[in-house]
Amino acid sequence: MQTGLDFKLVEDLVAGVDEVGRGPLCGAVVTAAVILDPARPILGLNDSKKLTEARREALFDEICEKALSFCIARAEVEEIDRLNILQATMLAMQRAVEGLHITPRLALIDGNRCPKLAVPSAPVVKGDSQVPAIAAASILAKVSRDREMSAFELIYPGYGIGGHKGYPTPVHLEALARLGPTPIHRRSFAPVRAAWDARSGVVDSLI
């Protein structure tokens, strides 16, 4: 039984682009662009969400070793709050493609829209479960972001960031209401804004 995407679908100098982190309440949105090498197959590529953490970690190293070119990029919390999450994601995707040391002849973007790029591009809905290069990009982006959020667990204890990775789980929402936002929380997101306003109200009442 074959698992993952068929590597025979890899096209020469086609970059796959994906993002991780549009939905969380904290942390950067992370993107990756990957140009796979048709001559160096990577078995088991698939949508990062369909893989175990251990498998993602192993594939991360293999992708970095075998890809013709890859770039992991990001948009920071300040940019998300200033631009909105969609535009910040497009900016991070631009950075990922521009960071490739080989210029692709085509960039395939996971989703239904493309950022403005200097190379031809096309959106692919559910591309991370169809296009091997997009699947590879999804793995690089997710592993990178997950590692960062695990590190934030040590810097901002009590929020459970290492577990939920910033997503609005009940544990996260309860901690946000109890402890207030951290510097890595996205203040343009409604639950964070509400928690910030509540904390500001408490401070104002004490003045």
Same domain, 139 and 105: yes
Range of the domain at 136: 7-155
Domain identity same for 199 and 117: no
For residue 198, give both structure tokens: 């509540």
Domain closes at, from 114, 140, 155: 155
What span, in angstroms and rounded, lies between the C-alpha atoms of 185 and 24?
9
Q: Is residue 151 part of a domain?
A: yes
Domain containing 115 — which CATH number? Answer: 3.30.420.10
Closest to 109 in 3D by CA, of 32, 201, 9 = 32
In a domain, 46, yes or no: yes
Q: Are residues 189 and 146 in the same domain?
A: no
Per-residue confidence (pLDDT) for residue 203, from 0 to 100: 43
Tokens representing 50?
Answer: 């369909």
60-112 pLDDT tens trace: 999 999 999 999 999 999 999 999 999 999 999 999 999 999 999 999 999 99
Q: What is the pLDDT of residue 24?
A: 98
The reply to whether 188 falls in a domain is yes
Place of tokens 């695990």: 150
Same domain, 111 and 170: no
